A = this chain, B = another copy of it.
Amino acid sequence: MARTIGSHGPKTMEAIRKAGLRLIFEHGYAAMSLRQLAAEVGVQSGSLYNHISTKQELLFVLIRDHINELLRQLDRALQGKQGPADKLRAFVAFHVSYHMTKKREVFIANSELRSLEPKNYEEIVALRGAYERRLAEILTEGVTQGEFEVVDIQVATFAILSLLTGLTAWYRPGGRLTKEAIVAAHEKLVLSGVAPGATPARAQTKRAPSPDVTARGRPEGG
């Protein structure tokens, strides 16, 4: 009888997304209950279903929208950059900066993939692949032109992404370092990391190169 207080109208969906991001980031998807979420939003838990169709769909939408935005902005950041070093520097700068402002989205998009149902999982992994490919192409170009040296491009791609993404685990705005310092620290590591130089001999491939490292299916391929 009569609407009580709490969030109304079209703002509710936005409130759900925001609270959902926070709760999933803090507790994880499985551990977040829709009751918690509803309480945060200020509605009854049943009311959530006027805006989302399932809990799973909420996760999916949050991740998908994030990755799409990420891709869109990456392409903008790379626009006009020439040469592998410039491109790599731009990639690192963009990635780090973006991850500092979208910490939660990024964290969830990386850690909750396993919570996606197969169909959703595949869609997201395809999008993520597009992002990874941008980096792989930059590395390939650099190696081809002799500007970069890596043992294996696939491994380097994953390692660099992992290195860069790691900061979501510790970054908090207002910390000791400026944004610029953090970006610089990562640029140094990555650009030096792929610089040609006296280090271990080139890797031995066990057999003809196959794309199976790339596959990166569900952990343990369930």
Contacts and interface: CB of A to CB of B under 8 A. Distances in A.
A213 interface: yes
Say what secondary structure dominates the interface of chain A.
helix
Interface stretch (A12-20, A58-66, A75-83, A166-174): A166-174
A194 B161 CA distance: 17
B26 A213 contact: no
A148 to B, nearest CB: 10
Instruction: Work out how many copies of this chain go into the complex.
Output: 4
B177 A167 contact: no
A63 B95 CA distance: 31
Interface in A207-222: 207, 209-213, 216, 218-222
B176 A200 contact: no
Contacts of A105: none
